[in-house]
Amino acid sequence: MARALVIGGTLLIGRTLVEQLLARGDEVVIMHRGHGTAFGSRVREIHCDRNDVKAVASALAHEQFDVVYDNVYDWQRGTSAEQVSAAATASAKGLRRYVFTSSVAVFAPGGPYDEDGALVPSDFANAYGAQKADSERALFALGRTQGIPVTTIRPAFIFGPHNAFDREAFFWDRIVADRPVIIPGDGLSTMQWISSRDVARAAIAATVHDAAIGRGYNLANVPEITQLDFVRLLARVADKEVEVVHVPRETIAALGGGIMEPPVYFGAYLDIPPITVRNNRLRTDLELELTSLEDGLEETFRWYAAQQRPTADFSWDEKAIAAAE
């Protein structure tokens, strides 16, 4: 049994992680800005903005944890290496492992990259990737200079129940309603995925294997999958046929299609230059086998099908399809 602090334990990764920690019998404390969680009295809460360095130091001054799982990135303000380092330093006393959730975005588009691939520089155009890379460098420096036992995990696109991003559900809304799905261009751009359950499993495994100290781990299903094949897989999981319509990216851009802001045309943040990684260290260091993409999506679809989904607006889809035709 371990005493665990989860920084951000209410959304996709954190919620799944807390479920697994509680199932293990761990004592769990969640640090977040909100009030109340899905876990009621089974967890204790620390109310704190992780981006507030002074508040974090004060909140953790009289606490001691065996492990810390740092899952939070502020998508509106960003989360800097300084803010991440502050949490690691504040929780260092008696710490057995500090597990930081990074991202495959620490690598430039391209690949495949193994775990020792070069991370993007601080001035990289993608601020999210640059801040994650800076945070990894800062944490590993704390490991060398202060002995803080750090591990980083780098998920690809994450899917699973309670996904706050409109990713897999975006497509199922259309597939289940027998609506066509827009494919940007030829649909041969590749993607890699990882289930939230496997992200949590990897994070926990990193706390029990000493080989993980001072190392980063890529988390992604291998091999990569094309956009077109991903949509077809989502249809197969839902036991439906899917009609796909190829729309040139130039047409999509001219009509205002977005990757993060509506009108989203291919799920949230999914049509970006691909980053391909390999994850051999998972087996050798953490003795971990990942759930297959299809099995993970089948589990996620069962959750999706049980939800009361908001009514989807297909009007922009119709405009884009008409323009392509």
The residues of the chain that CATH labels 3.40.50.720 are 3-158+193-219
- Tokens 């597990």 locate to 99
pLDDT digits (tens, 9 = 90+) for 289-317: 999 999 999 999 999 999 999 999 999 99
DSSP state, 258?
B
- CA dihedral 284→297→153→187, nearest 10 degrees, is 100
pLDDT digits (tens, 9 = 90+) for 82-117: 999 999 999 999 999 999 999 999 999 999 999 999
Residue 325 in this model has a pLDDT that exceeds 90: no
pLDDT digits (tens, 9 = 90+) for 264-274: 999 999 999 99
The CATH class, in words, for 164-191+225-272+293-324 is: alpha beta
pLDDT digits (tens, 9 = 90+) for 147-160: 999 999 999 999 99
Q: Which residues neighbour 125 within 8 Å (Cβ) at sequence distance 6 or greater?
A: none
The residues of the chain that CATH labels 3.90.25.10 are 164-191+225-272+293-324
Residue 132: which pLDDT band, with cuts at 50, 70 and 90? very high
Residue 48, helix vs strand vs coil: coil
**Residue 250 pLDDT:** 97
Q: Can you tell me the distance from the alpha carbon of 195 to that of 296, in angstroms, rounded to the nearest whole number?
A: 6
**Residue 1 pLDDT:** 85
CATH fold label, 3-158+193-219: Rossmann fold (3.40.50)
Residue 5, helix vs strand vs coil: strand
pLDDT digits (tens, 9 = 90+) for 248-266: 999 999 999 999 999 999 9
Percentage of the chain surpassing pLDDT 70? 100
Task: Round the average pLDDT of the chain to a whole number and report it.
Answer: 97
The dihedrals phi and psi of 159, each to the nearest 5 degrees, come to -130, 165
Q: Can you tell me the distance from the alpha carbon of 154 to that of 133, in angstroms, rounded to the nearest whole number?
A: 10
The full length of the chain comes to 325
Mean pLDDT of 193-201: 98
Task: List the single range of 8-12, 81-85, 208-212, 268-272 with lowest mean pLDDT.
Answer: 8-12
